[in-house]
Amino acid sequence: MAREEFPGWHGTTIIGVKKDDEVVIAGDGQVSLGQTVIKGTARKVRRLSPGGYDVVAGFAGSTADAFTLLERLEAKLEATPGQLARASVELAKDWRTDKYLQKLEAMLIVSDGADIFVITGAGDVLEPEHDVAAIGSGGNFALAAARGMMDSDRSAEDVARDAMAIAADICVYTNGNLTVEKITA
């Protein structure tokens, strides 16, 4: 099929919430092809431990592309142990300038417990305002819901879970089968 004719994979809502001394990254499990749910239990949030430093990453977009980026991020983290910001910037620079990487269609939310970043193929490494970041098809719904809960006494995990539940109720490409990873500074 030509790219224009391919119905396209849809799925993934990833949220990162930083509150108090912890960061939670949560992702749903749905992968859709056109109007069909292909899988409801995909795992799009991973814990990485390059150089003995824990990092949590969630991805939206093409799975193969995301795994390529996660491998590159791990290599950058091994070269700069404990320096997530530097590794993220190096990955974004490579992603923007390397002809092979430029074709990758994915986004990442990463955290080491102290910082949280969104990394895009446009060369962006964004530290979100209000300590909430969200990507993917239901990302805007989850982001709005989480921002509305940030002043409450809920934990980062509760905010992430509740925001994802709201996104799953609104976005047809998001479900309630969550993978949740928590990391502290």
Residue pLDDT, tens place only, 16-73: 999 999 999 999 999 888 788 989 999 999 999 887 899 999 998 878 788 888 999 9
Looking at per-residue confidence, does 6 or 177 come out higher? 177
- At residue 98, the pLDDT reads 74
Place 6 in a pLDDT band, splitting at 50, 70 and 90: very low
Looking at per-residue confidence, does 8 or 22 come out higher? 22
What integer best gives the mean pLDDT of the chain?
A: 89
**What is the average per-residue pLDDT within 76-105?**
86
pTM of the model: 0.91
Place 105 in a pLDDT band, splitting at 50, 70 and 90: confident
Active site residue 12: yes
The answer to whether residue 8 scores a pLDDT higher than 90 is no
- Give me 25's structure tokens: 């990254």
Place 4 in a pLDDT band, splitting at 50, 70 and 90: low
**What is the average per-residue pLDDT within 67-93?**
92
106-115, 118-127, 133-142, 176-185: which has the minimum mean pLDDT?
118-127
Q: Of 12, 36, 41, 174, which is the active-site residue?
A: 12
The answer to whether residue 111 scores a pLDDT higher than 80 is yes
Place 169 in a pLDDT band, splitting at 50, 70 and 90: very high
- Give me 16's structure tokens: 């990162």
